[in-house]
Amino acid sequence: MSERIRRLEESAHRIRRYALDMGEVQGQGYIGQALGVADVLAVAYRDQLNLRADDPEWPERDRFLLSIGHYAIALYAALAEAGVVEVSELETYGSDESRLPMSGMASYTPGMEISGGSLGHGLGVAAGMALGLRHQGNPARVYNLLSDGEIDEGATWEAAMACSHHGLDNVTAIVDVNGLQADGPTTGVLRTEPLVDKWKAFGWHAIRVDGNDIGALVDGFDELREHRGSPGVLICDTRVGRGVPFLEEREKAHFMPVAEHEWAQAREALEVRA
Ligand SMILES: [Mg+2]
């Protein structure tokens, strides 16, 4: 294994641990999704994004838009791993006066570019930002992490057409395909496959990878960063609860219940697996 991959696997491990720590503080959190997307965030924040940890508003920073506000716990863990927020601040997660509310809020948290939670709007914002950056001659890239549930939203596809129409090769969409959304398994809510064919039909350079395979993620992100002439999408198949076997096997639920005593068990299980 290369040094690059080994270093990123360690980052993903810390992101999972930080998310479990925050979940234990509040006794709740969208931990299944956070564990599932940790590898994607590790590669984004420690390998791909051009950021300055001590200057979150640096004009040439790459923008990372989290449209899925309930994944905030995962993004805070990644921001801590990237040095944008202090690891010690994670203890305040979800408490009054904290900069780390349970749903992502742009005005609260350094590095949180948009407020999420009303789903399906991230890609539209990304399109506008990317047009503006190009107009200004700013080399920054715009990333939008969206969920497979957001693929149901018409606005997502309107934005996909706009990005393609304007040839926005400074946009990268990342779709977390965990097979689950608030109303249940995605296959039972609305059929969205075949995803690669759909994005291609909308004019995107589309790649699909195992979203829990760091090496595959690095290759996919690298390819999209080099691609020119059209926007790119990295479709990431992830596993809810990844890294904690008893959570991976738990019956899938959008809001996975974790009993008070299980947080410590989950942390131990994560260390055993590492
Ligand atoms: Mg989902």
pLDDT in tens, the chain (274 residues): 899 999 999 999 999 999 999 999 988 889 999 999 999 999 999 999 999 999 999 999 999 999 999 999 999 999 999 999 999 999 999 999 999 999 999 999 999 999 987 899 999 999 999 999 999 999 999 999 999 999 999 999 999 999 999 999 999 999 999 999 988 899 999 999 999 999 999 999 999 999 999 999 999 999 999 999 999 999 999 999 999 999 999 887 788 889 999 999 999 999 987 6
Contacts of 162 (CB under 8 A, 6+ apart): 124, 127
- Ligand 1 centroid to Cα of residue 67, in Å, is 12
The Å distance, Cα 55 to ligand 1 centre, comes to 32
Task: State residue 191's pLDDT score.
Answer: 92
User: CATH no. for residue 240?
Assistant: 3.40.50.970
Task: State the distance from the centre of ligand 1 to the C-alpha of 178, rounded, in angstroms.
Answer: 5
Predicted local distance difference test score (pLDDT) of residue 116: 86
Residue 63 phi, psi dihedral angles, 5° rounding: -95, 130
Residue 54 Cα to ligand 1 midpoint, Å, equals: 32
For the entire predicted model, the pTM comes to 0.97
Domain carrying residue 142: 3-273
Total domains present in the chain = 1
Nearest residue to 159 via CA among 114, 225, 204, 118:
204
